[in-house]
Amino acid sequence: MTVQTFEAPTVKVASDKAVWSQDVLKTKYTYENSIVEKTQDGKFNVNPISIDYEFKVDLIKPKTGLLLVGLGGNNGSTLVSAILANKHNISFETKEGVVKPNYYGSVTQSSTIKIGVDQTGNDIYAPFTSLLPMVSPNDLVVSGWDINKANLKDAAKRSKVLDVTLQQKLAPYLENIVPLPSVYYPDFIALNQVERADNIINKDSNGKALLNSKWNDVETIRKNIKDFKQENDLDKVIVLWTANTERYAEIIEGVNDTAENLINSIKSNHHEVSPSTVFAVACILDKVPYINGSPQNTFVPGCIELAEQYNSFIGGDDFKSGQTKLKSVLAQFLVDAGIRPISVASYNHLGNNDGYNLSSPMQFRSKEISKQSVIDDIIESNEILYNDKVGKTVDHCIVIKYIPAVGDSKVAMDEYYSELMLGGHNKIAVHNVCEDSLLATPLIIDLVVVTELLSRISYKRSDSKSGNYEELYSVLSFLSYWLKAPLTRPGFRPINGLNKQRTAIENLIRLLVGLPANNELRFEERLL
């Protein structure tokens, strides 16, 4: 493997809690929270707790490869184009002037973290990547699978996302990138995708998908990953699904409810094992981190159990880019302000292949479930506004239509109808037009960069009997900020509030370098 070197961070924290060496950072941290019991008479018994931990971070950035499922789609071709443009410093001219390459929309590459205040109490911010060594997207080696065999030059042209001038400049790099054959089970995606499926792992003499070779599909994917890692001299590989939305897989006892049953169901070619789950299982078996960027239920119970058994990282579901991200902020704002949303109506139309696939009812249902869940925890946070007397739910309507003319520019319209005091009402209407893939692609970068960082973090409790460091739990819920329907440990409710999600990942980075959790008490200003 290529020997990687340590790069010292630009933020130096004078803390005895964090001890830096040439390749390892060790940090002591006391986690404080409160365990709450609600009594039948409506009172709360609160018991503060504190647990001492020691964290360890491997500071050596590995040479990392990224394999995309759906490499030739809008997101895949746009991601590769963005990395090439930034890596080779390719600028291009539009009618508005020269555009220089950037990673706008990426938290890790284009946002900052508050690290403290200056002597007069003014906030001081540092780049997100300046506290700990993180992999640069420019250094990622990218390949992947697609059910369509078009090279990325043709895929980028077909997607109609990038300016033509930029496409022309990137053409010499893109035309030699061809996706690997992928898994195609026609029942899981819309029938309108059949003409696109000409690049399939297992097919008969007529080019049609074989549905009796699912375990062979797993083994083929595993070999693809191993070959990719070896051919590119990589230390680590991450796999991310950015392919078509699948229909929901039915959860069936004895089929996909346990790890053992899921493996047996793949080997027996059960019809309820989806392509995305096949990719997930292949990755889990070789401890390759796998992220699901689409809304389907890839991680059926048996898949999560398998990840737990292999201590393999998984994360999902569904990129949270535009309309839903705004909803997670606006709904939180209204409820926190003591205003009672009673209905949220969301409509959007788009004309890319994602929209074409979602025009099928079964695939739309997967997206609807993902979008509807985004305000659940926000509603549950306020029993004054939502209770048995006035109702515990919000009417939440979601409509998605395929309109070819708008291409990748998704049009979203939302109406938030809320109840005010004494019978008053408030209506907020939002009209949002966004270039879908140019919002989603930076999320892929963030998910990969943060997943790679999380894979270098281990911990132990101070009262650990073994004294050994352990990896983080298999389900990477720290990725929630970038996902519509965050996957969590079974038995735990997901957190959808955007500010809470951002605070979690930001405070993790802060604690690892010896900084306290962020707060806004501002005693410098408010106390004598």
pLDDT at 308: 98
Phi-psi region of 254 (alpha: psi -120 to 50; beta: other; left: phi over 0): left
Task: Find the CATH number of the domain harbouring 335.
Answer: 3.30.360.10
Residue 506 inside a domain? The answer is no
Report how many domains make up the chain: 2
Residue 212 inside a domain? The answer is yes
Give the C-alpha separation, 393 to 398, whole Å. Answer: 15
Give the C-alpha separation, 201 to 222, whole Å. Answer: 12
Residues 108 and 245 in one domain: yes
pLDDT at 464: 84
Residue 17 inside a domain? The answer is no
Residues in the chain: 528
Give the C-alpha separation, 77 to 408, whole Å. Answer: 13
Residue 7 inside a domain? The answer is no
**345, β-bridge pairs:** 397, 415
Task: Write the CB contacts of 325 (distance below 8 Å, at least 6 apart in sequence).
Answer: 498
Residue 406 sits in which domain range? Answer: 323-435
Residue 21 inside a domain? The answer is no
**Secondary structure element (H or E) that encloses residue 307, with its range:** helix 301-310
Residues 192 and 209 in one domain: yes
Residues 405 and 491 in one domain: no
Residues 253 and 363 in one domain: no
Q: Name the DSSP letter for residue 448.
A: H
Per-residue pLDDT of the chain (528 residues; tens, 9 = 90+): 444 445 557 888 888 899 999 899 999 999 999 999 999 888 999 999 999 999 999 999 999 999 999 999 999 999 999 999 999 999 999 999 999 999 999 999 999 999 999 988 899 999 999 999 999 999 999 999 999 999 999 999 999 999 999 999 999 999 999 999 999 999 998 888 888 999 999 777 776 767 789 999 999 999 999 999 999 999 999 999 999 889 999 999 999 999 999 999 999 999 999 999 999 999 999 999 999 999 999 999 999 999 999 999 999 889 998 778 888 899 999 999 999 999 999 998 888 877 777 777 777 676 667 677 788 888 889 999 999 899 999 999 888 888 898 888 888 899 999 999 999 999 999 998 888 899 999 999 999 999 999 999 999 998 888 889 999 999 999 999 999 999 999 999 989 889 999 999 999 999 999 999 988 888 888 887
Residues 202 and 104 in one domain: yes
| Omega of the bond leading into 123 within 30 degrees of 0 (cis) | no
Residues 299 and 329 in one domain: no
Residues 235 and 366 in one domain: no
Q: Name the DSSP letter for residue 70.
A: T
Task: Find the CATH number of the domain harbouring 122.
Answer: 3.40.50.720
Give the C-alpha separation, 306 to 308, whole Å. Answer: 5
Residue 257 inside a domain? The answer is yes
Residues 97 and 148 in one domain: yes
Residue 266 inside a domain? The answer is yes
Beta pairing, strands 457-461 & 470-471? antiparallel
80: its two tokens? 């590769």
pLDDT at 2: 45
Residue 75 inside a domain? The answer is yes
Give Cα 35 to chain centroid, integer Å: 29
- In the numeric block, the tokens 């990426």 are attached to 106
Q: Name the DSSP letter for residue 191.
A: G
Helices (H) then strands (E): counts for the chain: 15, 19
Residues 287 and 329 in one domain: no
Residues 348 and 310 in one domain: no
Q: Name the DSSP letter for residue 192.
A: G
Describe the strand order of the beta sheet including 290-292 as a list of residue ranges: 180-181, 141-146, 64-69, 236-241, 290-292, 314-315
Give the C-alpha separation, 64 to 137, whole Å. Answer: 9
pLDDT at 140: 98
Residues 194 and 301 in one domain: yes
Residues 444 and 429 in one domain: no
Q: How far is CA 447 from CA 133, 277, 326, 481, in A?
A: 15, 19, 19, 9
Catalogue the active-site residues: 318, 367, 410, 484
